[in-house]
Amino acid sequence: MNITALIRPNILALKPYSSARDEYTGAEALFLDANENPFGQWNRYPDPYQKQLKQKIAALKNLDANALFLGNGSDEIIDLSYRIFCEPGKDKAICLGPTYGMYEVAAQINNVTLIQVPLDAAFDIDLPALEEYWERTDIKLMFLCSPNNPSGNILSEERISTILDRFKGIVIIDEAYIDFSGTLSRATQIGNYPKLVVVQTLSKAWGMAALRIGLAWMSPELLQYYNKVKPPYNISAANQQLALSILEQGNFEQEIKLLKTEQAWLSRELSAITQIKKVYPSSANFILLEVEDAPALYDQLSAHKIVVRNRHGIIPNTLRITVGSPGQNKQLIQTLKTIFHA
Ligand SMILES: *Cc1c(COP(=O)(O)O)cnc(C)c1O
C-alpha cells in the first residue's frame, strides 16, 4: 500500500489550522498578528515546529532535523498515529505483547481495535504468529517496542527487518530505551522504509521526563501528516528552551554508562537472592523480576517506602524495578535482604 492509501480520508482532506507563526516566517518584526500581550517574558507563542531544538537533537543523534517530529511526550505521538492512520470503529492496529500499556489506552480512546499478538517465550517476535496478518488491509499500524517494556530485551533485528519487508501498513518502532541498549537505532534507516516511524523520547536516558518531549523520525512524506494533525503549539516555549539548554550542558554519556554499570550490579545482586526466581536480562534501565508472590512483595517494599512497578497483571508474579542511583540501588538490595531474611 502506498502512503496516501494508509491515511484516513478526512486527514488527507484536512486543511490544517494556519497559525500566525505559519503565515509569517520572516525574521524579527513588529508582531501584531497573534493577539499576544506585548508585555512580559513568556508573552509570545512558541515556534510551532521547534526548529532550534530539532537541530540540536538531530546534531547530537547525527540524523537529519528535517526527518524529526516532536510530540508532547511520545504518548502524543502514539495518539496522533492512531488519529492519522486508523478510521475509528473500522481500522485496526497490532502490538506485540506483553508491552507498553499506552498503545492499548490510545487505541481505546480512538475507538480502534488493537490486536495483541503474543511475543514468544523469550519475549521476542513470533513471526509465524504474524503470518496471518501480512495481507490484511484493515490493519494500518503495527507497534514494536525495542527494548521492550516491561521485559527489557531488544527484539531480533532480523525479525524486525522481516516485518518491515512484509507488513503493508505503518511500522512504529518505539525506542524509548535505545540509548541504554548499545544497539543501533532504526532511525538511520527511515530513508529505506518510507512507512517506518521510529519513536524515541527525552524522558529516559536524557533525564527530561518532566519536559514531555517525544521524538519521531520518519520520511518527509509521513511527516507532513503529523504536522497537519498536531496541535499548532504542542511544545511550550519553556519546555523548548529548557530542553535546549539541558542538551547543551548535559553529561549524558557518563550518566548512561553509570546506569548500565548499576544495572549489571543490581542484576547480579538480585540473582543472588534465592527467593527471587528469575531476573530477566535487560537492555534498558529497568529489570523485570519473577518472584513467588509479586503483589505481596510489592506491598512489603511499599511498607519500606520503596515503590516498584507491579507487573503481575501483565506477566504473572513479576515486578519491574527501575535502576536508580548507586545509593538507591544499595538501599533496595538491603531492604530485599531484610524482607527475605537473606
Ligand atoms: C517511558 C516510555 C515512553 C516515554 O513516553 P513519554 O511520553 O515520551 O514520556 C515511551 N514508550 C515506552 C515503551 C516507554 O516505556
Indicate whether 25 and 123 sit together in one domain: yes
Distance CA 58, CA 276 (A): 42
Q: Which of 227, 249, 271 is the last residue of a domain?
A: 249
Which of 69, 201, 309 for mutating ligand 1's site (highest number of atoms within 8 Å of CB)?
201
Residue 140 has phi, psi (to 5 degrees) of -95, -25
Indicate whether 184 and 69 sit together in one domain: yes
Q: Give nearest CA residue, ligand 1 atom 14.
A: 176
Distance CA 164, CA 170 (A): 9
Contact call for residues 339 and 304 (beta carbons, < 8 A): yes
Indicate whether 64 and 172 sit together in one domain: yes
Indicate whether 265 and 184 sit together in one domain: no
Indicate whether 73 and 49 sit together in one domain: yes
Residue 115 CA, ligand 1 centroid: distance in Å: 20
Q: Within 6 Å (CB) of ligand 1, which residues are found?
A: 73-75, 100, 145, 149, 174, 176, 201, 203-204, 209, 214
Residue 175 CA, ligand 1 centroid: distance in Å: 9
Q: Which of 249, 270, 293 is the last residue of a domain?
A: 249
Indicate whether 329 and 210 sit together in one domain: no
Q: Which of 230, 249, 268 is the last residue of a domain?
A: 249
193-208: per-residue pLDDT in tens? 999 999 999 999 999 9
Residue 212 CA, ligand 1 centroid: distance in Å: 10
Contact call for residues 193 and 171 (beta carbons, < 8 A): yes
Indicate whether 276 and 132 sit together in one domain: no
Average pLDDT, the chain: 96
Atom of ligand 1 nearest to the CA of 209: 9
Contact call for residues 165 and 192 (beta carbons, < 8 A): no
Q: Residue 16 has what pLDDT?
A: 85
Indicate whether 24 and 154 sit together in one domain: yes
Maximal CA-CA distance, the chain: 71
Q: CATH number for the domain including 89? A: 3.40.640.10
How many Å separate Cα 85 from the centre of its chain?
18
**Positions in the chain short of pLDDT 70:** none
- Domain residues for the domain of 145 are 3-249
Classify residue 164 by its DSSP letter: H
Indicate whether 214 and 233 sit together in one domain: yes
What's the residue count for the chain?
A: 342
Percentage of the residues of the chain whose pLDDT score is greater than 70: 100
Q: Residue 250 has what pLDDT?
A: 80
Q: Give nearest CA residue, ligand 1 atom 1.
A: 176
Q: CATH number for the domain including 295? A: 3.90.1150.10
Atom of ligand 1 nearest to the CA of 71: 8
Q: Residue 150 has what pLDDT?
A: 98
Indicate whether 45 and 21 sit together in one domain: yes
234-247: per-residue pLDDT in tens? 999 999 999 999 99
Which of 144, 174, 197 for mutating ligand 1's site (highest number of atoms within 8 Å of CB)?
174
Q: How many domains does the chain have?
A: 2
- Packing angle, helices 74-85 and 220-229, rounded to 10: 100
Among 311, 322, 304, 179, smallest CA distance to 262 is for 322
Indicate whether 90 and 152 sit together in one domain: yes
Indicate whether 71 and 190 sit together in one domain: yes
Distance CA 28, CA 104 (A): 44
